[in-house]
Amino acid sequence: MTFSIVAQDGDSFGVAVASKFPFVGAVVPDARLGLGAVATQAMARVSYRDTALEALSSGADAAAAIAACTGPDDERDHRQLGVVGRDSQATWTGPSCLPWAGGVSGRDGSGAYAIQGNILVGPEVVEAMERAWLASAGRPFTDRLVAALLAGDDAGGDSRGRQGAALYAVRPGAGYDQYGLLADVRVDDHPDAPRELARLVGLNDLLFGSPEDVQPLEGALADEVLARLESIGFSGGSAAEALAAWASEENYETRLSPDGIDAKVLGALRAETDEDRLEGLGDDEHAEDEAEDHLDEEE
């Protein structure tokens, strides 16, 4: 009833999962900084998460971590599990999991992955996820996880439909207060959960990401930014001062930079403002001419 990817990209570890099951994010994924990640599904046993991560912490590889979970479990044949460690990866599908069920694990230049699913339309779901993961090398980690999940969904995903999805990822220094939580995003009940998850992961990155592709706030760009901000009520002061006020209201503080404006913040500002209304706002002479014409018409 679920398909997931457990993956590593350098020092990032995480899980993306989707299912015709609500609240899937409360059951399936877990990850630990500097250590690894795990997904437990099918007849999921939530305790597998702690058992697998503790095994990795003790020096076990991913296969041994899976054995630590399944070995003492009389119901293991009904369960499915993916584990990725710093230098290892493995996936387990119990022989009694409902078909189609299976998985694949491997490595690329950035690290390891384990992809698995059950009650799927067929093996093409897992195959599409693996292709998408490998093809996305070099992109941000959460983008890669989302790309793999959407590829599995596009290939048919859970044969019963869509309902829940989640993404959990960690990376040293990431997140709102640099504690290391890169993303903890859940869609608990939605008719198109994978794509709603993609939207929310993008918002998470905008709100909690660090500045990137910063452009100096000067010249024509400063004029544009100030004009756009003034059009939505943030007037007075410099472009940088207006930007700080708007960013505080929109919760973009983590992307503020003393060196200029973050590319994603600039994109959000442009998306929020009406370009047609802003045409010519940076041209004072043009604006004055329009005002005079308007007064003449009124007279």
Q: Is the pLDDT score of 285 beyond 80?
A: no
113 located within any domain: yes
Q: Is the pLDDT score of 238 beyond 60?
A: yes
Specify whether the CB–CB gap between 2 and 93 falls below 8 A: no
225 with 162, same domain: the answer is no
128 with 263, same domain: the answer is no
Q: What is the CATH number of the domain that holds 197?
A: 3.60.20.10
- Spatial CA neighbour of 13 closest among 106, 92, 115, 85: 85
Question: How far is residue 195's CA from residue 224's CA, in Å, rounded to a whole number?
Answer: 32
pLDDT of 178: 87
The tally of CA atoms less than 13 A away on the side-chain side of residue 149 is 32
Beta bridge partners of 34: none
28 with 175, same domain: the answer is yes
132 located within any domain: yes
Question: How far is residue 96's CA from residue 7's CA, in Å, rounded to a whole number?
Answer: 25
Between 162 and 176, residue with greater pLDDT: 162
At residue 280, the 3 state secondary structure works out as coil
- Domain end (from 180, 208, 236): 208
164 with 249, same domain: the answer is no
244 with 277, same domain: the answer is yes
Over pLDDT 90: what percentage of the chain?
87
At 275, is the pLDDT very low, low, confident or very high (cuts 50, 70, 90)?
low
Q: Is the pLDDT score of 286 beyond 80?
A: no
90 located within any domain: yes
Least confident of 146-150, 270-274, 278-282, 285-289: 285-289
- Domain end (from 181, 208, 235): 208
At 279, is the pLDDT very low, low, confident or very high (cuts 50, 70, 90)?
low
Location of structure tokens 């760009």? 221
16 located within any domain: yes
Q: What average pLDDT does the structure give for the chain?
A: 92
Q: Is the pLDDT score of 247 beyond 70?
A: yes
236 with 167, same domain: the answer is no
144 located within any domain: yes
Between 70 and 281, residue with greater pLDDT: 70
Question: How far is residue 262's CA from residue 254's CA, in Å, rounded to a whole number?
Answer: 10
Show the CA angle centred on residue 160, arms to residues 155 and 164, nearest 5°. 85
pTM score of the predicted model:
0.88
213 located within any domain: no
Give me 125's structure tokens: 């779901």
At residue 102, the 3 state secondary structure works out as strand
155 located within any domain: yes
Q: What's the number of domains the chain is made of?
A: 2
200 with 240, same domain: the answer is no
Beta bridge partners of 187: 165
At 283, is the pLDDT very low, low, confident or very high (cuts 50, 70, 90)?
very low
202 with 223, same domain: the answer is no
Least confident of 75-84, 97-106, 234-243: 234-243
Provide the b/e sequence for 116-135 (b: ≥16 CB within 10 Å): bbbbbeeeebbbbbbebbee
50 with 140, same domain: the answer is yes
101 with 178, same domain: the answer is yes
Q: Is the pLDDT score of 293 beyond 70?
A: no
13 with 138, same domain: the answer is yes
- Domain end (from 161, 181, 208): 208
- Spatial CA neighbour of 36 closest among 98, 94, 88, 105: 88
Question: How far is residue 38's CA from residue 48's CA, in Å, rounded to a whole number?
Answer: 8
For residue 279, give its domain range.
219-298
49-58: average pLDDT: 98
pLDDT of 83: 98
Q: Is the pLDDT score of 288 beyond 90?
A: no
In the chain, the DSSP E strands lie at 2-9, 12-19, 29-32, 36-42, 79-85, 89-93, 102-108, 111-118, 164-170, 181-187
122 with 269, same domain: the answer is no
125 located within any domain: yes
